[in-house]
Structure 1
Amino acid sequence: MLGLMTADFDFDLESTAPASKEELLGRVARGDEAAFGDLYDQMAPRVLGLVKRLLVDHAQSEEVTQEIFLEIWQSASRYEAQRGGASTWILTMAHRRAVDRIRSSQAGRDRDTKIGIRDLAVEYDNVSETVETRIEHERVEKAMSRLTELQRQAISLAYYGGLSHSEVAERLHIPLGTVKTRLRDGMIRLRDELGVAS
């Protein structure tokens, strides 16, 4: 009887032990939302801390952290335990996303500087600028035509209409997460269509 009670006791201990991050990722890959919540609770502070160290800006860091967890939800099936631990996989993804955001911000600043310098020039060839702008506009239009209608609609409202993600969600009567997914997927597709290096 005592041996049976000990075995039962050991079993209870094992069943209450928290799942490893690797186990949670496996369950997330199968669509387990509760496992995703547990994984988020375990990893979000570390991910946010890493991202914030790189980006400094808290709001941007939170946004990138959300993007990372969306990517984890969508790509958990690609995690390969033999290549490293789940924490390493997640933090590598977080580092890559944060660096991508830094590069994107830097590219935007460089582009703004280039435009500012061009605008300051006293003499410039107006015809060549018009042609360059028209060619760029045509390339973007062609790339936009290759997006899905849903992606095109979200990008048009956000980037051409100047609406925030929340305003786009309200206008289209869809969840904010859906807007972010459409924008992200659409921008990736546009980048690929335009041949812009990531």
Structure 2
Amino acid sequence: MLGRVSDDVGEQQERSLDALLGDVATGDRAAFGELYDRTAPRVFGLVRRILVDAAQAEEVTQDVFLEAWQNAARFDAGRGAAVAWLLTIAHRRAVDRVRSAQAAADRDLKAGVRELASPQEDVAERVELRVEHERVSVALAELSEAQRTALAMAYYEGKSQSEIAVALELPLGTVKTRLRDGMIRLRHLLGVTS
């Protein structure tokens, strides 16, 4: 008999939480306050077990009740009890916070690994660039002065073919020919086949 009495009390409390949540859906602040007072310890306890950090658990608990206030109208007592609805929101938000923290830690770790790996890569890159620069300098010296000037203006100064033609006071066709012939000769001198 005693078990039946405690079951009835539990059912009445669940039903009253359902009714409170229904009142919250209509904007009843007093109902929200009572709902908060009666359920916050359970919500906080669940969130705290997932997050461990008390400050983060408090933030997530606040987010849970904000969501409950904003979405109380979506609660359907036919699908479950109000406390189960709140605890589902709490669990989802806590897990989202853990995933977010893990993603941030992974990003930080990847950035740190890149920073640690770059000094060795930088040295190799700089040596390779220096060797390539020397090869190009030697090849450029083999071009005619006219081709070298046109290519230097195009690649080092970033001028267009038309701008080079104006600067050198040459027809556009002549500039195009010098650039094309200079590039063909450079490819040949550098051993580029494609």
TM-score, normalized by length of structure 1?
0.53
What aligned pairs does 1:77-88 form with structure 2 within 5 A after superposition?
77-88=73-84
Identity between Structure 1 and Structure 2 (%): 62
Q: Give the Cα separation in 1 of the matches to 2:66 and 2:85.
A: 14
What aligned pairs does 1:1-198 form with structure 2 within 5 A after superposition?
20-121=16-117, 122=119, 123=121
CA RMSD of aligned residues (A): 2.0
Instruction: State the secondary structure of the residue aligned to 2:27.
Output: coil
**Which deviates the most, 17-26 or 36-45?**
17-26
Amino acid at match of 1:23: A
User: Residues 13-44 of structure 1: CA distance to partner in whole angstroms, max 9, x if unpaired?
Assistant: xxxx9771100000000000000000000000
Instruction: State the secondary structure of the residue aligned to 2:66.
Output: helix
Larger radius of gyration: 2
Q: Give the Cα separation in 2 of the matches to 1:115 and 1:20.
A: 52
Amino acid at match of 1:59: A
User: Residues 90-122 of structure 1: CA distance to partner in whole angstroms, max 9, x if unpaired?
Assistant: 001000000000000000000000110111113
Which structure 1 segments of 5+ residues have no match?
1-16, 127-198
Q: Give the Cα separation in 1 of the matches to 2:58 and 2:84.
A: 20
Task: Please list every run of at least 4 consecutive aligned residues from structure 1 whose deviation after the TM superposition is greater than 4 angstroms.
Answer: none
Question: What is the aligned partner in structure 1 of residue 175 from structure 2?
Answer: none
User: Residues 128-148 of structure 1: CA distance to partner in whole angstroms, max 9, x if unpaired?
Assistant: xxxxxxxxxxxxxxxxxxxxx
User: Residues 48-97 of structure 1: CA distance to partner in whole angstroms, max 9, x if unpaired?
Assistant: 00000000000100011001000000000010111111111000100000
TM-score, normalized by length of structure 2?
0.54
Which structure 2 segments of 5+ residues have no match?
1-11, 126-194
